[in-house]
Amino acid sequence: MNESYRTYHPRWYRRRVPIFWWLRQLTYIKFISRELTSLGVGYGAVLLLAQIWAASAGETTYERFLGVLMSPPVVIVNLIVLTALLFHSFTWLHLAPKALVLYLGDRRLPESMVLFGHYLAWIVTSGLVVWFVVGGWA
């Protein structure tokens, strides 16, 4: 008999979680990818702050900043980040109806309607930003 075993205090077996548990199935890989794309969101925010700072520091600084943005390595990085941001946005929007349950009277609105509302809000907000950036307000 195994010495550490006691009749009234059984020795349970606890399985360790492997460090690469997230490679076990596709949904876990998708989840980790979604989490990692948050780094892209952070990068995008820092880039925007840097652009605002460059714009406020004068024309020469801003021209130099735009030059850096247009260099091939930065363009490649930004394209990768854009892909990550789109993945993040789409997956986030598709998760939203799970959290937001809306009722019209006693009837629950279908998830597709909540999703549509989110897409609509996204498109309208993006349109406003584009309108502002191209100077439509001036």
Partner 1 sequence: MSDTVELEVFRYRPEEQLEPSWDTFEVPLRKEWMILDALNHVKDQIDGSLSYRWACRMGVCGSCGMTVNGKPVLTCATYLSSQAKNGRVRVEPLRGFPVIRDLISDIQDFIAKLKKVKAWIVRDEEKPLSEGAYLQTPQQLAKYKQYSMCINCLLCYAACPIYPLEPEFIGPAAIALAQRYNMDSRDQGAEKRMGVLSQDEGIWSCTFVGECSVVCPKNVDPAGAIQRYKLEATSSWFKSLLMPWRGR
Closest CB to partner 1 among residues 57, 121: 121
Count of beta carbons in the 10 Å neighbourhood of residue 102: 13
* Interior/surface letters 75-93, b for 16+ CB within 10 angstroms, e for the rest: eeebeebeebbebbeeeeb
H or E stretch at 63: helix 59-69
Stretch that binds partner 1, among 27-35, 42-50, 63-71, 77-85 (CB under 8 A): 27-35
Q: Using CB under 8 A, pick the residue from 55, 100, 124, 129 that binds partner 1.
A: 100
- Write the binding mask 105 to 124 for partner 1: x where contact by CB under 8 A, - elsewhere: -x------------------
Stretch that binds partner 1, among 19-27, 42-50, 54-62, 63-71 (CB under 8 A): 19-27
Count CB atoms within 10 A of the CB of residue 62: 15
- Interface with partner 1, residue 24, by CB under 8 A: yes
Q: 91 near 33, Cβ under 8 Å?
A: no
Size of the site for partner 1 (CB under 8 A): 25
Answer yes or no whether residue 104 interacts with partner 1 by CB under 8 A.
Answer: no
